[in-house]
Structure 1
Amino acid sequence: SDMTYIGFVTILDPPRDGVKDSVIQCHEAGVDVIMITGDAPATARAIASQISIVKDEKDLALEGKYVKDIESFEELRKIKVFARVSPEHKQDIVEKYQKENRVVAMTGDGVNDALALNMADAGVAMGIAGTDVAKEASDMVISDDSFNSIVTGIHHGRGIFAKIRAVVFFYIVINIFEGVVQFILAIILDKPYFLDPAFYLQWIFLSITLHMFPGLILTFDMTSKDVMKEKPRDEEEILSKNIIGLLLIFGILLSISMVVVYYITISGVYPVFAENWNFGDLNPAYLYSPLNNDLNPFNASLTSAKTLTMLMVTLFFCESFLIFQIRRPNKSLIKSTREDSNKSMYLIIGLLFAILIMLMYIPGAQVALASSGVNFMFMYLTAFDWLMCFLISLICIVSFEIVKFIARRKNITF
């Protein structure tokens, strides 16, 4: 009775900066965010509303003691906040989601979180406030105790997954289908190919240029800006059914382009022009000219030489474009290069074409190399030859874009 009221103190523990944006990112990425807390339902719901976990009246808050009364997943998915929760309740919540084949990530920092952290598919402990027990029970530890870091981890993880998938796609498709065409033409049909003694250095050139450096573009590629808008993959394999289907389609299109350019040239339908071997005063500076017959020790025919050089150029077009097409398989080629590209991609591809062009056109370049024992046997191609190679490569490039377009229209994702 002798006390005098002076006032009261209000303690506020506001959400951290950036948490709301991170929660919104999770929702866009198809990741449901659920709050589990020991606070009262009203308090928990108010905080959850501030950070977009609770967005409207349909999103419910439930006390932990009622978790076992939830009978269906439809009821469970409406609950965004679990309040007054004990360690046993956390275990029940994780189990209910896992029974519905949901991949569950659980965050926590205390001893009472250890069981749920251990049960979850991905247990995430706090590195600063977390207890040793919580850290031991978890799969990973967040060093700054920030929810934002978890979202950043999802972003980087999806980016790494996309890069791995693109690299695997590229190397499988070019090696398998180039190998199949090579086996049919060179082994079964006994046609001139890169395996012949006269042209084997072309195969080495192809391997150390087109089969090596483009993969670096995919390996060090930037992460797509839209990666957090894609659906979760749910423990999906690197080569999903959709990706395998896409791989087979491109492989078939690549094989068709290779066979078309090969046969129209080797059969003479597309002939060897005088400009490919007669250079007038520059005859001493180029292979296949009448003055350099000694640099053709295997007497490779002009038709064979042009066929394999045309095939090489067509492969350069098809596989260089594949790099840009498979980086973002769920986007068109034009959109992906406009929105997500960097200068190094174009520099590497440009460098590869530049090396091929310099070997082919710099006077004396191939002659000097051939005289020293490194004879690539590339034929001088005219501008029309290059145009023909590009048009044939469009069989592969354009058709692949059409397939991707149809997939987008049918909501098929890769």
Structure 2
Amino acid sequence: DKTGTLTQNKMTVEKVFLNEKLTDSADATLSLKDKIAQIMVLNNDTKFQGNELAGDPTETALVSFYLNQAQPVQQFINDHKRLAEIPFDSERKLMSTYNQMADGNIIMTMKGAPDQLLERASQIQDGDQVRPMTDEDKQLISRTNHDLATQALRVLGFAYRNVDQVPTELTSAAQEHDMIFVGLIGMIDPERPEVAQAVAEAKSAGIKSIMITGDHQDTAQAIAKRLGILGRGDNPGGKVINGAQLDELSDAQFDKEVTDISVYARVAPEHKVRIVKAWQKQGKVVAMTGDGVNDAPALKTADIGVGMGITGTEVSKEASDMVLADDNFATIVTAVKAGRKVFANIQKSLQYLLSANLGEVLTLFVMTMMGWQILAPVQILWINLVTDTFPAIALGVEPAEPGIMKRKPRGRTSNFLSGGIMTNILYQGFFEGFITLAVYAFAITNPVHASDALAHADALTMAYATLGLIQLFHAFNSKTIHESIFRVGLFKNKFFNWALLGSAILLIGTIVIPGFNNMFHVTELTASQWLVVVFAGFMIVVVSEVVKYIQRHISHK
């Protein structure tokens, strides 16, 4: 929903079309004696709260236009009481009021979409005179409306007629006719400066941005091009349709064309629900933004309803799954990036923990089946404590990987073990177990001591050290699922660095610090034995880098 999310929701008057002339607002000399000025401030629901204005940004901008010229707007409104009104609705896109004038007459004012207003006007204000509206007048007004709209301006038309009394039947069909056209106002709601970049980033992340607005079709197209939702030139890269055209499409036709439509203009609330459902039929995950009461059905229907924290009604917030504190589209993209980082970090921690524990289980299982001496319970508990705790927590706070917003969306069926994670867990766990058993077998067949008891004690110590160190080396692998660890930066995460250093000291300390040998059933290792242990542990990095390279090569084909 464009207003306030893609734009700043701070309307200002830019152009004035009056007496067949188009001028900049700064050059327009208007006062409350002019009919267009009277309509702009009387046909208006803006409330004065001290020095602040409260209400719809479009209407507050109309009042501000005259307040900025030091004109007594509030006094004028108080002196010309509103007697009745035909409220604005999204179908006809018009609002009419009845106000008491100083001369005792009653004026019916109208403001709204120029195309709708023109259908109800039969006369035109030409200076101080009122004359019948000609086809040339209508063509000029329509052409001016189009020109302003293509400049990304929101255009409002203004008309009036004098009445003897307030009618009893206050309906559009009964009263909104034979109006006197006065002029047009072109207003701009500047786009948020960060949105264009956010739209581009969302696109690179596989997220398609669809703009829905109540603006004129030309205005919507101009804004969408400036924001990058539509391409520039003759190939905009997406269709622009309005609510009336959408109504003409059957559900079957719309389902076929929905993926080609990027901008919806002049839409009604029920159109938003239809748009959401059409995209869901395509198997897509749909997020919908909205702030009004009428947006609640679409927010509820969407997979992710996004309410507005500043301008949103309580109804829209209650119907939403999340609320934007700043009403800014760029915040949605930031949230997507944060969500991807959190998801990836959980995957990293799971891959690390499950593969490491699988390696331990396989080591103990094979040792038992082979009739070998197995690691002591205190050794297994200590390895779990120092290798599972700190590194796993540190992986959970890894910064976002480079290019995380260039990955394709995971899809509805994705889980924490998809995307090759389960395959990685299995081969890494088996490799860790295999390397640990290989070091044990090597130490048994190549003893440093002649005594069998010492040889077995050394072999168990080397297996214990290898099983611990290979998991710490593997923590580096887990910093990224598929990319090379040398691309993401080995030492960027300071918490991770301290966690691994602390874990390594706690593990190695049980072997090299006097007094711990008997407690942990280990022996002092020679330099050559430590070399074997470190080399064996580092092999998990080599193997993982090779496998990641193969995975990337296959996925790019």
TM-score interval, smaller chain? 0.7 to 0.9
Distance 1:42 1:313, change over 3 A: same
Q: What is the total number of aligned residue pairs between the two structures?
A: 372
SS, match of residue 241 in structure 2:
strand
Residue 118 of structure 1 is aligned with which of 277, 284, 300? Answer: 300
In structure 1, what residue type is equivalent to 2:197?
D
Query: Which one of 27, 34, 52 corresponds to residue 210 of structure 2?
Result: 34
Residue number in structure 1 paired with 2:494:
343
Aligned to 1:133: 315
1:308-327 counterparts in 2 under 5 A? 308-327=460-479
Residue by residue, what CA displacement relative to the aligned partner does 1:215-247 show, whole Å, maximum 9, x if unpaired? 121122222232212111123111116211121
Aligned residue in 1 for 2:401: 224
Whole-Å Cα distance in 2 between the matches of residues 241 and 25 of structure 1? 22
CA shift digits 1:160-188 (9 cap, x unpaired): 111111112222222233113212313x3
Code of the aligned partner of 2:548 = K
2:374 is aligned with 1:193: yes
> Structure 1 stretch 381-390 or stretch 129-138: which is displaced more?
381-390
> Deviation at 1:412?
7.0
- Alignment partner of 1:361 out of 508, 512, 518: 512
> What is the aligned partner in structure 2 of residue 92 from structure 1?
274
In the alignment, structure 1 residue 66 sits paired with structure 2 residue 245: yes
Partner of 1:51: 227
1:18 aligns with 194
CA contact (8 A) 2:214 2:267 kept: yes
Amino acid paired to 2:510: L
| Structure 1 residue 309: Cα displacement | 1.5
- Are positions 1:392 and 2:542 aligned together? no
If asked which structure has higher relative contact order (CA below 8 Å, sep 6+), I would say: 1
- In structure 1, C-alpha distance between the alignment counterparts of 2:485 and 2:366, rounded to whole Å: 31
Amino acid at match of 1:331: E
Higher strand share: 2
Q: Quick one: distance in 2 between partners of 1:359 and 1:4?
A: 91
Separation of aligned partners in 2, 1:7 and 1:412: 56
SS in 2 for 1:62: strand
* Greater Rg over alpha carbons, structure: 2
Q: Report the residue type matching 1:238 in the other structure.
A: F
Q: Does 1:270 align with 2:446?
A: yes
Partner of 2:46: none
Residues 377-404 of structure 1, C-alpha deviations (whole Å, 9 max, x = no match): 2221122212212333344332221111
| Paired letter, 2:291 | D
TM-score by length of 2: 0.63
Where does the alignment leave 5 or more consecutive residues of structure 1 unmatched?
278-299
| 3-state SS of paired residue (2:391) | helix
Moved more, 174-183 or 113-122: 174-183
Structure 2 SS opposite 1:11: strand
Aligned residue in 2 for 1:282: none
In 1, Cα distance between the equivalents of 2:411 and 2:275? Answer: 19
1:170 to 330, 349, 352: 352
Give 1:319 shift: 1.2
Q: Compute the TM-score of the two structures, normalised by the length of structure 1.
A: 0.83
Q: How far apart are 1:81 and its partner, in Å?
A: 0.6
Report SS of the residue matched to 2:330: helix
Aligned residue type for 1:60:
K
Q: Distance between the aligned counterparts of 1:41 and 1:4, measured in 2?
A: 23
Aligned Cα RMSD in Å?
2.5
Residue deviations 1:301-332 (CA, integer Å, cap 9, x gap):
21222112211222233211221212211211
> Could you tell me which amino acid in structure 1 is paired with residue 229 of structure 2?
I
Determine the structure 1 residue equivalent to 2:134: none
Instruction: Name the SS of the counterpart of 2:209 in structure 1.
Output: coil
Q: Which residue of 1 aligns with 2:439?
A: 261
> Counterparts of 1:124 and 1:217 in 2: how far apart (Å)?
31
Which letter maps to 1:189? Answer: M
One-letter identity of the residue aligned with 2:318: E
Partner of 1:147: 329
Q: Structure 2: any 5+ residue segments left out of the alignment?
A: 1-18, 26-185
Tell me whether 1:240 sits opposite 2:422 in the alignment.
no
Which residue identity is paired with 2:551? A
CA contact (8 A) 2:241 2:264 kept: yes
Change (3 A) 1:177 1:316: closer
Change (3 A) 1:176 1:389: same
Q: Supply the distance in 1 between the matched residues of 2:208 and 2:359 (Cα, whole angstroms).
A: 41
| 1:259-298 equivalent positions in 2, closer than 5 A | 259-266=437-444, 269-273=445-449
Residue 320 of structure 1 aligns with an amino acid whose one-letter code is L
| Cα drift, residue 130 of structure 1 | 0.7
User: CA 1:75 to 1:7, structure 2 compared with 1: closer, same or farther past 3 Å?
Assistant: closer
Greater helix percent: which structure? 1
Is the alpha carbon distance of 1:138 and 1:356 closer, same or farther for their aligned partners in structure 2, counting shifts above 3 Å? closer
User: Does the 8 Å contact 1:29/1:232 carry over to 2?
Assistant: yes
Q: Distance in 2 between matches of 1:158 and 1:172?
A: 21
